Structure 1
């Protein structure tokens, strides 16, 4: 397989390669015709300065050639950019569709392994990097190659010494530039990776600012962003600082005054020896003055191509994400029972999180998963809506393996309220109706009332039509109640609650608990809890330890057993003075 075939950038551009080639061809013609006015001006000078009567016809023809060449050059360049912009539009539309398709089909647990900043960079910033490369780079590069090459050929046709004179200062810059660009690709990859960490740190810090401020950890949380910025600045300064002086000195070789001085001085020497005429020197000067801009374009194009290659690699990596496997012959679940049969789960690195879990959650009951942090509570619960698939064993919903249920059917059966509830950009009504777009007004209001959030919504400037982030700003507890109302409206018979009151103040927690009690009625509920007091009335309590079921039963029975559950209960409810220092901090 060829190198090009393995290049992510080549693969992304391949569907629109024909339009890009058309743009390059038109751009080359446009650049070539843009040289004609320079040549015609020189020839017009010859006509005007030639002895004898003025040749009117030749003068008019030359002037007409200049006008037509300018018009043709502008037309070809415009058509070239139209073709490449059309190619970019088609490529961007296809990539966005593919990204939406892939991101909509990956397991929900895939997002827990990715930072939101990294995903945002791939689906937004990286697509912008590709825009310049596809829509502008190839046309600008062909023009930057054709124009100086044809100009130098023209000078060589006049006199080879003029061609040398036009580039006399370039070797100085070429040697310095080659030295400065050593290891450019590796350095750009390092800088790009560092900037990705900065972007991710910004997003994560902003998203978590409410929590870290509430617990007085702003400085600590800011540390990750500060370290990412420091790493980027050190890498960038370490690369650029030694090159600045050399860049400043070598750039003088391409400055207009230096090129003009060198060309006119050399031209004067040529004239003194009668090698060329004055108009030939003028032609050499015009071509020489146009060369630095073409070099700058090529230089910028190299940087843009490197950035685009890195962006294409990230986009290709995102597009290569494994989708959630779907059964070719999906089955319809019957009922709302949830069963775990000898379930084990390990992440891609081989780390086992759950081992041999067997559990039956009957319809209309509340099953609580408790245990120490890292015991596998959330992982076990999220296997039901297929955030991940089991490594061994079976998870069944309504008697059917969840892997044999179509995703859209599964999410009509299973709803979840997570501790970090999210709202999408749109109206309050849009957010409530995500799981049931055709819900009637009465049903929406009923769900909001049951979730204890209706009064807060109607107090907004436009009520249910208020836009999140503009005239509707909700606290963490209010956001949780909105997500509960959303689940009530979706009316899923199975519900996963992952510590839905984790970051709420006491008043908000009481309202959330009231809303949850309404939400749980008549459903199969699986609750992940750290505060045992919040689940002491659950029908069944399962205590996990080290990814296994340590014990299970009712609250009173587990206390009498005096095992891990009783130990955790005493830590949370016993006298503070009897607890160790780490226990008191945990309660705080």
Structure 2
């Protein structure tokens, strides 16, 4: 999954030691799960816009009232006073101009406010995603994260830019019209208002259970998003094995399920809502007003001219209410979106450093470390491990033994649930992130490249690095020649005019780490996806990277780590064996069995075979300590 934002929060993990990014300069919205909470940074501007909209709604009624008064003047007995006519017409023109000016100002304020909120939310989400534990993503698919970052933030646009103004107009306009009509003739006013209770009752019935249905709608959309992401990301592999239809069927099923749900929800609502609209439609109201006005005039209860305001303004009662129904639907959608955004903004992140300390050296120690993803089931238990400065420590063991989880504790991608990991005698939880990543770097098995220049990708771990330093790191990582062949060299943009194979991207990741120059380095399966030619170049680049560093390696081929200073064998989240290659072979335990299975020969001091593609780590792969030979 890749989320492209202006912030690169989270991408420091592949930088081999880049400093943590600073929070956005603009004030971030308060975390929470409510729409009102998220709107807090722009609440003042929205209040001003609402006041302007109320004034605009009032001004919009004045021209209609002016027409009624002109009718009274023109149909009154005796000569017409031109001055009075011009005064009324002038008031109408001024009110109409004021209405457009106030309405335009209110819309401009809300649109600027929406732009501010969108920027704040996306920056805050990106920053939060960069601080949450990696395990947070394991419980959420790419489609769900994309929905929050893109779709849910966008869903709030209508509420901020339009809906609040529509609601103000829908409330103020009918109230003012009703007050005027009651003043003009309360009996005709009651007749004009008669369809509204029927409409309100019908809509109330339609809205029952709307919240639950919207939740189901959001879940169905999330499933479609996830199916699309999985289809795009997995189509190449599925096509290779002739299973492209499988990915298409998964997406088609998600789309069909959404269609079936949506039709079952909307079909009964369509019939009822159609009847509600007919009851308050302008032709219906017009016929009702004309019939009642004709009857009242015939009975002598009112004058013909007194029917004019009901013909002009009575038709305007339903319009705002119909708009309010659509706005209410979008408001509910936005509230559901705001809850999901709020959940991300409130996601638990790694605890901040309260009293920062600086490590004395690069001595790493795991003391009584335990870790569990869900707080109940432990993945690691009772881990005691020491990494002395300048030594190589290799982690081996079957898939699921906890090697990657243990390695992720050192760069503090997660915090242990028990025990402590220390660097230079200081608990990692007491070291500022910027300080920690000056000491600890990480090279993943799969390097993520940002959609920016190659030079900036390499300099991610040291943003102020000059062009000469970037090129020197690229040469050391054996990737300079490939970059030089690009259309714009180091100025080429990854994903546009620069496309790299997995092995090439891995060497860019190594260049990042070389430029960042961390004294402690974690290698997590760094050659897992490399072809033999790329692997040789990666191994050569790694040999330069690891010189003189404290190294923690996740090994997938025992031959590459046979010369490590210590090897820790994990199984079931515990270290079951520890020692040098020769000591573990002599012990005849699990490591010896793994070595024999790899063709290492039977007996202590067996000669390391040539690197084989066998994988003791199941689906995972890795790199050892280049330059170390078996005894």
Aligned match of 1:268 = 294
SS for the counterpart of 2:163 is helix
Contact kept, 8 Å, 1:367 with 1:538, in 2: the verdict is: yes
Deviation at 1:483, TM superposition (A): 1.1
Q: Who is 1:328 aligned against? A: 354
Q: 2:185 aligns with which of 138, 152, 159?
A: 159
Q: Deviations over 1:147-206 (max 9, x none)?
A: 122112222222223223333444443343222211111211222233234334434554
C-alpha separation in 2, matches of 1:542 and 1:219: 44
Mapped to 2, the partners of 1:501 and 1:214 lie a distance apart of 22
| SS, match of residue 224 in structure 2 | helix
Per-residue deviation, 1:378: 0.3
Could you say what secondary structure the match of 1:544 adopts?
A: strand
Pairwise CA distance, 1:481: 1.7
Q: Is it true that 1:303 corresponds to 2:329 in the alignment?
A: yes
Residue 75 of structure 2 corresponds to which residue in structure 1?
A: 49
C-alpha separation in 1, matches of 2:532 and 2:273 = 62
More off after superposition, 255-264 vs 61-70: 255-264
More deviation, 541-550/516-525: 516-525
**1:88, 1:134 within 8 Å by CA — same for their partners in 2?**
yes
Residues 395-431 of structure 1 show CA distances to partners (whole Å, capped at 9, x for unaligned) of 1223322122211111111111112321112111111
Deviation at 1:64, TM superposition (A): 0.3
- Give the alignment's TM-score, normalised by structure 2: 0.83
Over 3 Å counting, the alpha-carbon distance change for 1:103 and 1:77 in structure 2 is same
Question: Does the 8 Å CA contact 1:166/1:285 hold for their aligned counterparts?
Answer: no
Change (3 A) 1:371 1:509: same
Picking from 274, 285, 289, the partner of 1:248 is: 274
2:568 to 536, 542, 545: 542
Q: Distance in 2 between matches of 1:202 and 1:494?
A: 39
Query: Cα gap change, 1:278/1:396 in structure 2, threshold over 3 Å: closer, same or farther?
Result: same
Cα distance, 1:247–1:568 mapped onto 2, change above 3 Å: farther
Give, in whole Å, the separation in 1 of the partners of 2:117 and 2:143. Answer: 23
Query: Using a 3 Å threshold, how does the CA distance of structure 1 residues 438 and 14 change in structure 2: closer, same or farther?
Result: closer
Greater shift, 530-539 or 440-449, is seen at 530-539
Task: Determine if the alignment matches structure 1 residue 346 to structure 2 residue 386.
Answer: no
Match of 2:399 in 1: 373
Deviation at 1:223, TM superposition (A): 6.1
1:495-517 alpha-carbon deviations (Å, 9 max, x no partner): 11111222333433333333222
Indicate the residue corresponding to 2:19 in structure 1. none
Q: CA deviation at 1:17?
A: 3.1
User: What is aligned with 1:493?
Assistant: 519
Equivalence map 1:47-446=2 (5 Å):
47-92=73-118, 94-96=120-122, 98-207=124-233, 218-220=244-246, 225-226=251-252, 228-446=254-472
> Secondary structure at 2:460's aligned position in 1?
coil
What TM-score comes out, normalization by structure 1 length? 0.88
Indicate whether 1:551 and 2:603 are aligned.
no
- Indicate the SS of the match to 1:27: helix
Question: Structure 1 stretch 272-281 or stretch 39-48: which is displaced more?
Answer: 272-281
Q: Secondary structure at the match of 1:324?
A: coil
1:279-330 deviation digits (Å, cap 9, x = unpaired): 4333222223323321122112212221222222223222223343344332
Q: 2:66 pairs with 37, 40, 53, which one?
A: 40
Distance of 2:171 and 2:523 partners within structure 1:
63
Contact conserved, 1:332 with 1:405, CA < 8 A, in 2? Answer: yes
3-state secondary structure, aligned to 1:141: helix
Structure 2, gaps ≥5 residues long: 1-30, 601-614, 622-631
Equivalent of 2:496 in 470, 480, 483: 470
CA contact (8 A) 1:153 1:163 kept: no
Which whole-Å CA distance do the structure 2 matches of 1:296 and 1:303 have between them? 11
Describe the SS at the equivalent of 2:317: helix
Cα distance in 1 for residues equivalent to 2:407 and 2:247: 29
Contact 1:536-1:555 within 8 A present in 2 as well: yes
Report if the CA contact (8 A) 2:54-2:172 is conserved: yes
Match of 1:439, SS state, is coil
User: Contact 2:366 / 2:420 at 8 angstroms: preserved in 1?
Assistant: yes
Segments of structure 1 that go 5 or more residues without pairing to the other structure are 575-581
Please give the per-residue CA displacement for 1:135-157, whole angstroms capped at 9, x wherever unaligned.
Answer: 32222111111112211222222
Compute the displacement of 1:255 (Å): 3.5
In the other structure, the counterpart of 1:577 is none
SS at 1:434's partner residue?
helix
Q: Could you list the per-position Cα deviations for residues 409-465 of structure 1 after superposition, in whole angstroms to 9, with x for gaps in the alignment?
A: 111111111123211121111111011112122221122122222222122211111
For 1:476 and 1:292, the matched residues in 2 are separated by 62
How far apart in 2 are the matches of 1:558 and 1:218?
A: 46
C-alpha contact 1:180 1:243 (8 A) present in aligned 2: yes
Aligned mates of 1:359, 1:222 — CA distance in 2:
48
* Cα distance in 2 for residues equivalent to 1:547 and 1:306: 46
Within 1, Cα distance between the matches of 2:420 and 2:327? 54
2:589 corresponding residue in structure 1: 563
Name 2:541's counterpart in structure 1: 515
Query: Higher relative contact order by CA 8 Å / sep ≥ 6: 1 or 2?
Result: 2
